[in-house]
């Protein structure tokens, strides 16, 4: 039995296999309609979610399975003080696989230690979000023909952005990738990530100015400033609209740039960008269901 807590739990060849399976699901959806017949997914969301939760539940339905669970911690016995360990022990009696989002870092790993079914980390605080990374890799592969030799600009909240942390952790393993980190000084990427890049001889630069660097990027990965990660409301208000991608800024970019975003967005991408062919973030959200179908089958060892 395997869990997915970090993107590092998968080898590069396994990620490539999941991408290959995803393309086959896109091209031959009817071949997968009963792959998980009679299987149940436990959807355990202690923190709000739209795309991740619904895409997992839709993925299981499209595989012929069912799902059960909750979309808010208030609907669980966590409100009564039940531990993660006891919750997952109980859920393991009712389901074949579990996906969990929790506001506390390390919670998914804790659940995996006590689970008798595969556990998928759907985001643990500001730490990791490996299935969003799989979604991102499929999107990049689709629009760039591969995931190597790219200049990847990542803009916004790089301190608390778990999608950013997981994506950098994965893309560093592919040859020739270079990162351009764009953020306010208060929201810079954590030092431990920069140390990992240096250790792996991966090129990166840091800046506070998007206008001066957007022309160099093959990918622009925008993120929102996350209100829920701030203890100081004034600090959030001061930083929340620091970067707004609009047509004027986009006019400086390459014609084959792709604009990605894990969503939800607030103000960081103007709606006038949505119709630009370089904006792929809603397609990106759609790919989330596909790659999660592939992942569920892999962890359940469904042929």
Active site residues: 51-52, 80, 101, 129
Cβ atoms 93, 254 nearer than 8 A: no
| Count of CB atoms situated within 10 Å of the CB of 131 | 24
Cβ atoms 204, 181 nearer than 8 A: yes
For every residue of 1-31, which 3-state class applies, written as one string? CCCECCHHHCCHHHHHHHHHHHHHHHHCHHH
Give the helix, strand, coil percentages of the chain, each rounded to 5: 45, 15, 40
DSSP annotation of 67: E
In angstroms, the CA 283 to CA 290 distance is: 11
In angstroms, the CA 70 to CA 44 distance is: 6
DSSP annotation of 180: E
At residue 260, φ and ψ (nearest 5 deg) are -115, 160
CB-based contacts of 166: which residues, under 8 Å, 6+ apart? Answer: 6, 7, 128, 129, 130, 132, 133
């Amino acid at each position: 039995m395997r869990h997915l807590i970090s993107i590092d739990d998968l080898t590069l060849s396994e990620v490539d296999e999941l991408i290959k399976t995803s393309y086959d699901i896109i091209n031959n959806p009817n071949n997968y309609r009963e792959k998980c017949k009679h299987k149940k997914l436990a959807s355990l969301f202690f923190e709000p979610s739209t795309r991740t939760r619904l895409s997992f539940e839709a993925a299981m339905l499209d595989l012929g399975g069912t799902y059960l669970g909750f979309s808010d911690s208030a609907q669980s016995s966590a409100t009564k003080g039940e531990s993660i360990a006891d919750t997952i022990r109980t859920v393991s009696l009712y389901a074949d696989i579990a996906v969990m989002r929790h506001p506390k870092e390390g919670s998914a790993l804790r659940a995996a230690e006590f689970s008798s079914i595969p556990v998928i980390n759907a985001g643990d605080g500001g730490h990791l979000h490996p299935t969003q990374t799989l979604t991102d890799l499929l999107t990049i592969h689709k629009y760039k023909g591969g995931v190597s030799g790219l200049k990847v600009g990542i803009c916004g909240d790089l301190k608390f952005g778990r999608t950013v942390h997981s994506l950098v952790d994965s893309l560093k393993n592919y040859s020739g990738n270079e990162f351009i980190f764009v953020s306010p000084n208060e929201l810079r990427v954590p030092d431990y990530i920069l140390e990992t890049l240096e250790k792996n001889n991966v090129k990166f630069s840091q800046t506070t100015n998007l206008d001066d660097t957007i022309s160099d990027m093959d990918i622009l990965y925008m993120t929102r400033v996350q209100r829920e990660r701030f203890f100081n409301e004034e600090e959030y208000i001061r930083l929340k609209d620091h970067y707004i991608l609009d047509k004027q800024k986009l006019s400086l970019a390459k014609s084959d740039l792709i604009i990605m975003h894990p969503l939800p967005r607030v103000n960081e991408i103007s709606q006038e960008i949505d119709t630009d062919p370089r904006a792929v973030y809603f397609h990106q959200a759609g790919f989330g269901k596909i790659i999660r179908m592939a992942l569920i089958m892999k962890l359940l060892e469904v042929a």
